Structure 1
Amino acid sequence: MDLVGRPTKVELSENAIASITRGREFVEGVLARNGRPVYGATTGFGPLVVFEGRDSTTDQCDNVLQHLTVGQGADLPIPVARASMLVRARSLAHGLSGASLSTVDALCRMLATGFTPAIPTWGSVGASGDLVPLAHAVQSLRGVGHAYVDGERMPARDALGVAGLTPLELDGRDALALVNGTSVTTAAAGLAALSARRSLQVAIALTAALADLLGAAPTFAAPSLLKAFGHPDVATTGQELAWWLEGSIPSPDRPLQEPYSIRCTPQLLGAARSAIGWSTETVSQDLRGVSDNPLFFPDEDLVAHGGNFFGQPSAFASDLLASAVTQVGNLAERQIDLLVDPGRNGGRPPMLAAEPGRQHSIQGLQVMSTALVVAMRRACTPAAMQSVPTNLHNQDVVPFGTQAALTAYEQSRMLRLLHGALGVAVRQAAHLDDRGSTASHCTGLVAALSDRIDPITRDRPLDEDIRIAADVLDSYVQEANPWTPR
């Protein structure tokens, strides 16, 4: 996520250049044949396709962009906005959209700078592409509206100058090709999936550290037990937990059976692994495909008018991601609750406060975590079937994939903060117990947290500590865990 938010060199391969050039030449040949209609190049847009478009190709550019520049709300996060441009460039690079080489190259040149279009959050129904947000993005590249340079918001024309870019000049086919895809949906869903995969591994590591600090017997991750459950991803999650718990020494004071927030974690996190895996593969298929309309196939002399801008796959994937991520967030909040409860936290004081009443330690942290998880629950109402007809019933069924994807993206950000809060709690629990970690891998994780976060010996603000813990967990777990994709 951080990489796509920074200037990134993107180059077109020789094959991509050849495909783009060939596709563009085919479009120009088709348009030169009198009487052969091409949506958006010779016609109006949406339900107004039955009317002729404007006479000049330059006017057709304004014809598509101006009426779509209606977005509202806060700007999309810079990583999402930049990723959207990268995804759009990738789709156009197949050469099936008939976009010009200069247009695709302009997207690549933009990505190499600190320029980011200012794209409003609200306006897309995820069908006919992400028309409204992408129109704002294209307008920014033309010098209309606003944009960011290295995180600073300013008028788009000024931003282009600061970034060393020139305003984009387009015809109607280029303009429609830039807006008629689900690139915002796919970008947000892709970033959410990457974050969810990383957070899943953090959840496994934190669960192991918690179980080790409490002295829980590791039998809840026994291979034969989990194999009998019948779900391969549950068994894999158990193997990962067992790796973190290697060398752990159970406490004789623990009950025979742990609360579900420990005992059932292989099943919960294994199911999340399955859901995140399916969602990731679905979004990956979107990334490999072409979302636009129409598409041009020179070998078949075919101009295909269809629905490859309909973001239903990523809509379903994003809704599932949001649900899985929220349940992992539920788990983190319950694990924090386990640590603050003196009846279940291995004899530690309430709220992990060394002097309860005189100090309150992570009491406020738990309240914040409860607020976060409820916000996550409220937000993950499925969007993929909230179809409302619009556009003179031209768009009579729509997937709302953009809203689904942006929700999943926000859920993934909140889960990171919940894990940061749990990381602070685990670090404090280790400070308050002479027993400490007994599993070497968990000891390393707790040590990494302790290197950056001081024990709470006197109440202090913990807001920054939570964010630091989230960063530590991301980096340490990805580096230490042999299950991390390399």
Structure 2
Amino acid sequence: MNIQPGFLTLTQLRQIHAGSEPLTIDPSATAGIRASAQLVQQAAQGGAAVYGVNTGFGKLANQRIAQTDLNTLQLNLLRSHAVGVGEPMPERVVRLVLLLKAASLARGFSGVRECVIDLLLALYNHGLTPVIPCQGSVGASGDLAPLAHLCLPLIGEGEVFYRGERLPAAAALQQAPLAPIQLSAKEGLALINGTQVSTALALDALLATERLFEAAVISGAVTLDAARGSDGPFDPRIHAVRGQPGQIACAAAYRALMVGSEIRRSHLEGDDRVQDPYCLRCQPQVMGACLDQMRYASQVLMREANAVTDNPLVFASTQEVAVQAGAVEPALPGHRSRPLEGEVATGHVGGELLSGGNFHAEPVALAADALAVVIAEIGAITERRIAMLVDTVVSRLPAFLTPEPGLNSGFMIVHVTAAALASENKSLAHPASVDSLPTSANQEDHVSMATFAARRLQPMLRNTEYIVAIELLTAAQGIEFLRPLKSASVLEGVLQLVRSVSPAMMRDRSLAPDIGAVHQLVAQGRIGLAGEAQITELTALRLV
């Protein structure tokens, strides 16, 4: 796949995330990469102090580094910052980090040579996945520790996963075969400075949330039928007068999912219930708000995926920066610091190195926190529907969905499991972005905690995937008591999929294996795909 830096799309990231297609950087990026690298080399040879080129880092920025030590400075930077702890990040996430880091550097504002970007992509394309411990970043000054671990293999150090083994990077490079490189001025700093780890973790969670969301909409529709709920609250006029786009799209999906249900038709007359519980009636409002929040997070994260987030930034020409990747405004003219001494006057590549704070991952932290609330809310309303189904007073189904309650406990404790998971998510949903601890002797005095904000989404996703799996099992059991009536055709397809891994339970047995099997269907996106193949309204719930 050819990557044009600054113009990655969510569709491309879905394909990259799901496969192992070789990646290349579009040749149009070459001129910018070379110009910025040349400007850095000029700065390194000049007499002026330039942060990250001939100075120390962080609180040590006032320390000048001798010309003869500039390459060692970059080498030491990678080694000293590789201090992560904990389990390795999933390989699918690390491969996404490799892509995002290469694409960001290839924008031509980081001052690295082509060989650095080429080797990052070579690691990706040859299947060498750096081992990155999952803990150790506060999400400001970039994801320093994890990115240092990512880039150690470029110099033949650190570890990688290669062909199913965890190996020293030097050995894996030899097998590939690939040659390590010697870092030049600023390159170590450009490699470890940036938000690519936080962004990759958040994007990985976003794509999983998209699958979860579709499954939860479908499982909610199955429950609506099992509870013989009304489809009146999904009337398009109700949602049109409110005008919330996610709500309108979700209501349309629920209506489409219910078309042709014999169960619904059998209760159009003679049902004395005036209104359904909120967990049924307000599904478009709750899930629609979640969809709008997911779309907001998607927009933020895709901007970040295309961003340049290291420091300092290298502007190798005085021209205005082009608007790319959804940026709202171009760079403002006149907002420029003093050029490097002699650069423009010498007739060499003109331009500036500007220090700023694009490494601060606050946009990612807030987007990840938004996703955390979405994941928790999907689980919360799903748990309420499970509770409603096992309550015979509300559902009008046998108590705990068993033909012989008392002798059998049925789905009593299955609901307890769902409640435990939903409650755990409430603690995990606490915003990570509101916390900050100063680092680097108070030089870096406000940080985003974006890396944890994104990383904590995975246990939340697992919890909610299990809750949705439990709802599918519970709703399928409820519909057994309404046979021979059939649900809508799409929902019958979903029920068949559930029944392919979990038969109906008319006498007590352990449901733990069944929950695990249906969880796999949810996590793999197979529940969503089962409905999506038949109705276009579900495709409208996908992120764009």
> Is the CA contact (8 Å cut-off) linking 1:60 and 1:171 kept in structure 2?
no
Q: 1:332 aligns with which of 378, 382, 387?
A: 382
CA separation of 1:147/1:370 partners in 2, compared to 1, >3 Å: closer, same or farther? Answer: farther
The equivalent residue for 2:514 is 462
Aligned residue for 1:104?
Answer: 117
Structure 2: stretches of 5+ with no match in the other structure: 1-13, 319-350
Relative to structure 1, the CA distance from residue 24 to residue 439 in structure 2 (aligned partners, 3 Å threshold; closer, same or farther) is same
> For the Cα contact (< 8 Å) 1:387–1:400, is it kept in 2?
yes
Instruction: Give secondary structure in 1 for the equivalent of 2:529.
Output: helix
1:320 alignment partner in structure 2? 370
Counterpart among 469, 472, 483 of residue 420 in structure 1 = 469
- Offset of residue 187 of structure 1: 0.8
Residue 476 in 1 paired to residue 520 in 2? no
1:61-460 matched pairs, under 5 angstroms: 61-248=74-261, 249-250=264-265, 251=267, 252-253=270-271, 255-300=273-318, 301-350=351-400, 352-457=401-506, 459-460=509-510
Task: Look up the equivalent residue of 2:529 and give its one-letter code.
Answer: S
**1:295 Cα deviation (Å)?**
1.0
CA contact (8 A) 2:249 2:288 kept: yes
Would the aligned equivalents of 2:222 and 2:476 in 1 still touch at CA under 8 Å? no
SS, match of residue 434 in structure 1: coil
Q: Is the 2:246–2:292 contact (alpha carbons within 8 Å) kept by the matching residues of 1?
A: yes
Q: Which residue identity is paired with 1:298? A: A
Identify if the C-alpha distance between structure 1 residues 468 and 426 changes in structure 2 by more than 3 Å, giving closer, same or farther.
Answer: farther
Structure 2 length-normalised TM:
0.83
Over residues 74-113 of structure 1, what are the superposed CA-to-partner deviations in whole Å (9 max), with x where a residue is unaligned?
2222222221111111111101101111111111111123
Q: What does the per-residue CA deviation read over 1:405-459, in whole Å, with 9 as the maximum and x for residues that have no partner?
A: 1123442343223222222223333334315443222222222322343333551
Alpha-carbon distance between aligned partners in 1 of 2:118 and 2:199, rounded to the nearest angstrom: 21
| 1:18 alignment partner AA | A
- Distance in 2 separating the partners of 1:370 and 1:324: 17
Q: What do you get for the CA RMSD once the two structures are aligned? A: 2.3
Mapped to 2, the partners of 1:244 and 1:119 lie a distance apart of: 43
Q: Distance in 1 between matches of 2:514 and 2:166?
A: 30
**Which residue type is aligned with residue 476 of structure 1?**
A
Match of 1:50, SS state, is: coil
In structure 2, the partner of 1:30 is 43
Partner SS, residue 299 of structure 1: coil
Of 122-131 and 331-340, more deviation after overlay is shown by 331-340
What is the CA–CA distance in structure 2 between the aligned matches of 1:2 and 1:427, rounded to whole Å? 33
> For the residues of structure 2 that align with 1:160 and 1:357, how far apart are their CA atoms?
64
Bigger radius of gyration among the two: 2
Residues 129 and 192 from structure 1, CA distance in 2 versus in 1: closer, same or farther, beyond 3 angstroms?
Answer: same
Matched AA of 1:13 = D
Asked if the contact 1:189–1:409 (Cα under 8 Å) also holds between the matched residues in 2, the reply is no
Q: Report the Cα offset of residue 286 of structure 1.
A: 0.8
User: Does the C-alpha gap of structure 1 residues 140 and 335 become closer, same or farther in structure 2, counting only changes over 3 Å?
Assistant: farther
Tell whether the 8 Å contact from 1:212 to 1:442 is kept in structure 2 after alignment: no
Greater share of residues in helix: 1
> Using the alignment, how far apart are the partners of 2:515 and 2:426 within structure 1?
22
TM-superposed CA distance for 1:5, in Å, is 6.7
CA distance in structure 1 between the partners assigned to 2:72 and 2:486 by the alignment: 69
Moved more, 241-250 or 303-312: 241-250
Report the CA distance between 1:402 and its aligned residue. 1.2
CA contact (8 A) 2:173 2:179 kept: yes
Q: In the TM superposition, what whole-angstrom CA distance separates every residue of 1:363-415 from its partner, at most 9, and x where no partner exists?
A: 44333322222221111111112122221221111111111111234423432
User: Secondary structure at 1:112's aligned position in 2?
Assistant: helix
User: Pairwise mapping of residues 44-63 of structure 1 onto structure 2 (< 5 A)?
Assistant: 44-53=56-65, 55-63=68-76
In 2, Cα distance between the equivalents of 1:254 and 1:232? 32
Contact residue 196 and residue 325 of structure 1 kept, 8 A: yes
User: Per the alignment, in what secondary structure is the counterpart of residue 126 of structure 1?
Assistant: coil
> Counterpart of 1:308 in 2: which secondary structure?
coil
CA distance in 2, matches of 1:430, 1:152: 47
1:173-195 deviations in whole A, cap 9, x for unaligned? 22111110000111111122222
Whether the 8 Å contact between 1:198 and 1:478 is mirrored in structure 2 is: no
After TM superposition, give the deviation of residue 479 of structure 1 in Å.
3.6
Identity of aligned residues (%): 29
Distance 1:131 1:160 in 2: 23
Structure 1 residue 3: deviation in Å?
Answer: 4.9
Measured in 2, the distance between the counterparts of 1:335 and 1:193 equals: 24
Residues in 2 aligned to 1:423 and 1:161: alpha-carbon distance in whole angstroms: 49
**Alpha carbons of structure 1 residues 387 and 481: separation in structure 2 relative to 1, 3 Å:** farther
CA distance in 2, matches of 1:127, 1:153: 29
Conserved in 2, the CA contact under 8 Å of 1:71 and 1:133?
A: yes
Displacement of 1:314 in angstroms is: 1.1
Q: 1:91 to 1:480 in 2, by over 3 A?
A: farther
TM-superposed CA distance for 1:122, in Å, is: 1.5
User: 1:116 & 1:169 partners in 2: Cα distance?
Assistant: 20
1:108-131 CA distances to partner (integer Å, 9 max, x unpaired)? Answer: 111123322111122111111100
Structure 2 residue matching 1:153: 3-state secondary structure: strand
Q: Distance in 1 between matches of 2:54 and 2:436?
A: 30
C-alpha distance 203-45 of structure 1, shift in aligned 2 (>3 A): same
Deviation at 1:160, TM superposition (A): 3.5
Deviation at 1:304, TM superposition (A): 1.0
Gaps of 5+ in 1: none
TM-score by length of 1: 0.92
